[in-house]
């Protein structure tokens, strides 16, 4: 398969990249900085095609597709892992901050999907997976911006699944709980030890690992999920059932 993967150098994106190349896929990996995985790029130079891009440049997203230059091939899947997390009290929010997080977490995803859905870039029957968050269906103090963006993704998934069904393109999302990633570690460094323990206690099965999320992503881009679209899969160790 030819797969476009964003956020490929860290967290869930990096673990997804490793799994995809182990399955002999060709991955067009999108990230801002590939220095963190330079050894992996050298080792799998035939399977990983790096594409340097900053998703703050929403208006230039088609550049990703033109740079890939598939020629006689097309993409079979899009996996959008890139995004940002922030914890900010409502009193400190300003329109510019809201716009920034929506730009990266929502607008970039919609623009990616818009270009991916063009016949010149993707095959009929292709699959799209967005990495949202369980915060898209739950709330948490200090996360009004983040929760709003992740909820927006869920609406976008349902609407686009219907619109793209004429080409049998499936669109789904995975909604992880708190997973052990660099983004999570950054969050934990910004809050008190008591808050960290409270967050961990909210997950009956404990904090997740990236390897707990990736199998569902792999399933959703495979032919085994050919009759699944417009769905949001919660993977959170029981966080949302309490």
Active site residues: 146
Of 172, 51, 71, 46, which Cα lies nearest the Cα of 121? Answer: 71
- Report the b/e string of 25-35 with b at 16+ CB within 10 A: bbbbbbbeebe
DSSP element (H, E) containing 171: strand 170-176
The span from the CA of 77 to the CA of 83, in Å, is 18
Show Cβ contacts of residue 3 under 8 Å, excluding neighbours closer than 6 positions.
20, 25, 26, 27, 28, 75, 76, 77, 78, 79, 221
Rg (CA), the chain: 17
């Amino acid at each position: 398969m030819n797969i476009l993967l964003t956020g490929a150098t860290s967290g869930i994106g990096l673990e997804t990249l490793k799994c995809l190349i182990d399955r002999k896929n060709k991955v067009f990996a999108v990230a801002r900085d590939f220095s963190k995985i330079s050894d992996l790029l050298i080792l799998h130079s035939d399977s990983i095609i790096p594409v340097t891009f900053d998703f703050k440049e929403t208006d230039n997203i088609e550049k990703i597709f033109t740079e890939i230059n598939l020629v006689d091939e097309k993409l079979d899947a899009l996996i959008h892992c890139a995004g940002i997390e922030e914890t900010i009290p409502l009193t400190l929010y300003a329109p510019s901050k809201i716009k920034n997080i929506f730009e990266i977490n929502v607008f970039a995803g919609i623009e990616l999907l818009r270009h991916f859905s063009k016949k010149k870039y993707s095959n009929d029957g292709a699959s799209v997976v967005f990495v949202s968050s369980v915060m898209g269906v739950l709330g948490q103090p200090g996360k009004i911006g983040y929760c709003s963006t992740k909820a927006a993704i869920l609406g976008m998934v349902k609407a686009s699944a219907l619109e793209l069904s004429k080409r049998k393109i499936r669109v789904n999302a995975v909604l992880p709980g708190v997973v052990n990633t660099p983004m999570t570690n950054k969050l934990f460094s910004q809050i008190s030890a008591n808050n960290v323990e409270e967050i961990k206690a909210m997950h009956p099965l404990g904090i997740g690992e990236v390897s707990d999320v990736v199998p569902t992503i792999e399933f959703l881009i495979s032919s085994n999920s050919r009759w699944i679209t417009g769905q949001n899969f919660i993977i959170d160790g029981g966080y949302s059932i309490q």
